[in-house]
Amino acid sequence: MSDEVTAEILTTHVLELAAHGKRLDGRGTDEYRKISVEPGFVSTADGSALVRIGDTAVLAGIKLEPGKPFPDTPNAGVLTTNAELIPLSSPIFEPGPPQPGAIEVSRVVDRSIRAAETIDLTRLCVTPGEKSWICYVDLHVLDHGGNLIDAAQLAALGALAHATVPAKRFGIAEADYRLEVVHYPAECTFVRLGEAIVVDPTFDEERAAQGRLTIATDEIGRIVAMQKGLVGAFSPDDVKAMVERAFRHGEKLRAIAKGAAA
């Protein structure tokens, strides 16, 4: 339930540890938890990936269906991202329509995928102005142990990276073909804990956090999306330092997503 309370003793302890460069689970401030990607988890999806970061688990599923392109982009397909923070995954989530938290996750993931031109949407055009592929990215949070955004984004990327366009099934082409991933954006999330800024926050660290920043980078050196969340503030210098860290982590996250795609 939303009125789950975290013990102040715990959040205070998290902050004290951070002041000494330490963390509750023994990690360094610039260290991710163990990451795993299981592509093809769902056979009914055109692409899917189950991503675990520590005890956080997010399942992404891709569905491609023919539809009508937007009037202002008649030569492009449509990409749409949706996240479900289902109450199965955490005592803090309630049943019902998507809450702002779920909408934020889906929009932040969507922005990185879109801005990095992860997939070339013009290749999803079938008949200009008439017919194009709609690519649905559905994010299903299964276990909420913190840092949902990075897990969801990596799941989305992993799912896209091995998705198939079901052209044969819909009578659009003779055979299905791989959805080509052009760029590999990776999202990297930090939280402020006092003066320390740590990467890949756990649930308890998010509860103690004084500001969160997500930075998406791609493999050709672009910053493609950012999102500051939670109550708290960062200086421009903080942001610059996090950008450097995000690029370093991005390399590793991309490799994990690509490895899963191979």
Partner 1 sequence: MGSVGAKDVPVLLSPEGIRIDGRRVNELRPIKITAGALKHADGSAFVQWGLNKVMAAVYGPREVHPRHLQQNTKAVIQCKYNMAAFSVDERKRPGLDRRSQEISKVVAEAFESVVFAEEFPRTSIDVYIEVLQANAGTRCAGLVAASVALADAGIPMADLLPAVAVGKAGGAIIVDLNKEEDNFGEADLPMALVPQSGRLVLLQMEGHMTREELATALDLGVQGCRGIYEIMQQALRDRYSVAPVPEVTA
Partner 2 sequence: MGGSHRTGPRRRGPRGSSPHPSGERVLVLPGEEIPSQGLKPGPGTYRVGGRVYASVLGLLSARPPFVQVIPLSGRYIPKPNDVVIGTVTDVQGTFWLLDIGAPRWAPLHMTGTPWKVDVGETEQYLRVGESVVVRVENLDPTGRIGVTMLGEGLGKLEGGSIVHVSPARVPRVVGRGGSMIQTITRQTGAQVAVGQNGRVWVNGDPEAIHRVREALRMISEDGQRSGLTERVESYLRSTASSDEAGEDHPPAGESAHRDAPEGSFASSPPPDDRDDSDEPRTDENN
Q: What is the DSSP letter of 200?
A: S
Question: Residue 24 binds which entry of partner 2, partner 1, none, with Cβ cut-offs from 5 to 8 Å by kind?
Answer: partner 2
Find the shortest distance in angstroms from Cβ 44 to partner 1: 5
SS3 105: helix
Query: What does the alpha-carbon distance between residue 227 and residue 111 come to, in Å, rounded to a whole number?
Result: 10
Residue 160 binds partner 1 (CB under 8 A): no
Dist. CA 139–CA 13, nearest whole Å: 32
The DSSP secondary-structure symbol of 147 reads: -
Among 13, 27, 131, 258, binds partner 2 (CB under 8 A): 13
To the nearest whole angstrom, how small is the minimum distance from the Cβ of residue 213 to partner 2? 25
Report the nearest approach of partner 1 to the CB of residue 17 (Å).
21
87 binds partner 2 (CB under 8 A): no
17 versus 179: smaller Cβ distance to partner 2: 17
Handedness of CA 247, 228, 117, 162 (dihedral sign): positive
Residues 6+ apart with CB under 8 A from 65: 133, 134, 136, 170
Q: Which two tokens stand for residue 64?
A: 């491609």
Q: Does 38 bind partner 1 (CB under 8 A)?
A: no
DSSP designation for 138: E
Part in contact with partner 1 (CB under 8 A); list of ranges 11-19, 38-46, 107-115, 250-258: 38-46
* Closer CB to partner 1, 77 or 250, in the complex: 77
Does 130 help bind partner 1 (rule: CB under 8 A)? no
Q: Please give the residues from 56 up to 115 whose contact with partner 1 meets the rule CB under 8 A.
A: 57, 59, 61-63, 65, 82, 84, 86-91, 94-95, 97
6 or 164: CB nearest partner 2: 6
Binding to partner 1 by residue 33, rule CB under 8 A? no
Judged by CB under 8 A, the number of residues near partner 1 is: 33
Query: What sign has the CA pseudo-torsion 142, 149, 70, 74?
Result: negative
CB of 46 to partner 1, least distance (A): 8
Q: Which residues, 91 to 110, sit near partner 2 by CB under 8 A?
A: none
Q: Cα–Cα distances in Å, from 125 out to 79, 82, 117, 167, 170?
A: 12, 21, 15, 12, 14
Positions in 22-51 near partner 2 (CB under 8 A): 22, 24, 26
CB under 5 to 8 A by kind: which of partner 1, partner 2, none does 162 bind? none
Among residues 49, 107, 47, 111, which one has the least CA distance to residue 256? 49
130: left (phi over 0), alpha (psi -120 to 50) or beta: alpha
182 binds partner 2, rule: CB under 8 A: no
Give all strands (DSSP E) within the chain, no chain letters: 35-39, 47-53, 56-67, 78-84, 125-127, 131-143, 164-165, 177-178, 186-193, 196-199, 212-217, 223-229
Binding site for partner 1 (CB under 8 A): 1, 41-46, 48, 55, 57, 59, 61-63, 65, 82, 84, 86-91, 94-95, 97, 136, 138, 140, 142-145
